[in-house]
Amino acid sequence: MRLAFISDIHANLPALEAVLADLDRQKPDAVYCLGDLVSYAPWPNEVVQLIRQHRIPTLMGNHDFTLSQLREGEALPTVPPDPKMGRSVVTAGAQSLAFTHGLLGNQERGFLGSLPRHIRLEFDTADGRSDVLMVHGSPGSLNEYLLEDRTEADILSVMDQAGADILLFGHSHLPYHRQLPGRSPDKPAYRHAINTGSVGKPKDGDPRAGYVLIDWIGGEPRVTLIRVAYDVERAARAIEESPLPDEFADRLRRAY
């Protein structure tokens, strides 16, 4: 069994197209998306449409949630005035939401609003049943970061509460894999916390699109963090030619 996990596409169509082409080569049995299809780049509708065309089971990300709650033509909440500057300051993130809100079609917005917050799978392996849980940020929140520097006890507590032997998540755009002790005699010997990284907006200094493959060999999963080169300049130039902040193009080029 081979499964692929992608996340945090953030409206970057060239990155998604490159990853889907690589998945055609890898030939997984199934592909799952952990959310945040939109924001930060100029192709939100095209990304949603491509995910739907490929029938990829997808979770809701925090950006998906925010934009799904707004109706077409509805204004975004105003930013409180900055007391030091005496005027409202619109952050780059707010500019991105406003831009994406203006582009999103009704069908695409409705799709984002229909997405679940968790997907759970169960596998019977040679050394016991393995529970796989997919979330966007954490089991409890779309916005929580499960960063690699969290203590082992902390991560194990999160996984215990969620009943997960393999926990897959995104949100931080920082890929990693941690192998942890198992939780009971009838379970696999190890648990796994896996951040899938980001397809469309990496933040680890490597601008290539990222995703994860898991192969089940015997009782233990083999986890591979994959990177895929794509036309970063095409995406960066499209951002610069749009009303989005040029900062987003720089972030794509330098992956921060």
Q: Kindly indicate the confidence band of residue 90, based on its pLDDT and cuts at 50, 70 and 90.
A: low
* pLDDT, tens digit, 9 for 90 and up, residues 13-44: 999 999 999 999 999 999 999 999 999 999 99
Domains of the chain plus CATH, in order, are 2-79+88-254 (3.60.21.10)
CA–CA distance, 252 with 153 (Å, rounded to integer): 34
Least confident of 49-63, 77-91, 171-185: 77-91
Q: Which of the pair, 79 or 94, is modelled with greater confidence?
A: 94
Predicted model pTM: 0.92
State the residue for tokens 């509708």.
Answer: 45
* pLDDT, tens digit, 9 for 90 and up, residues 134-175: 999 999 999 999 999 999 999 999 999 999 999 999 999 999
Virtual torsion, Cα 37, 44, 204, 244, nearest 10 deg: -140
Handedness of CA 171, 176, 180, 182 (dihedral sign): positive
For residue 88, the model assigns a pLDDT of 39
